[in-house]
Amino acid sequence: MDSEIAFGNIAFWTLVTGGTVGVGTLVYGLVTRKPAAPDPGPRVAPLLGPGTAGLSFGGRF
């Protein structure tokens, strides 16, 4: 009878420990993840130079 109680306690605390490690890993992953780089959108810049004037278009359209 004592062995049944001991194995029950071992099983319970193993599940509690595993759940705690799982939740801790999930929280760590959510807190430390890097934000995704923003998609480069269209870019418009003035183009000025000797004998040149206009707009420069770049990026992803």
**Local confidence band at 39 (pLDDT 50, 70, 90 cut-offs):** low
Share of the chain above pLDDT 90, in %: 39
Q: Note the Cα 40 to chain centre separation in Å.
A: 20
Q: Does residue 5 carry a pLDDT above 70?
A: yes
What pLDDT is attached to residue 27? 93
49 by DSSP, 3-state: which? strand
How large is the average pLDDT for residues 12-26? 96
Mean pLDDT score across all residues of the chain: 86
What is the value of pTM for the model shown?
0.52
How many Å apart are CA 25 and CA 21, to the nearest integer? 6
Top pLDDT among 58 and 5 is at 5
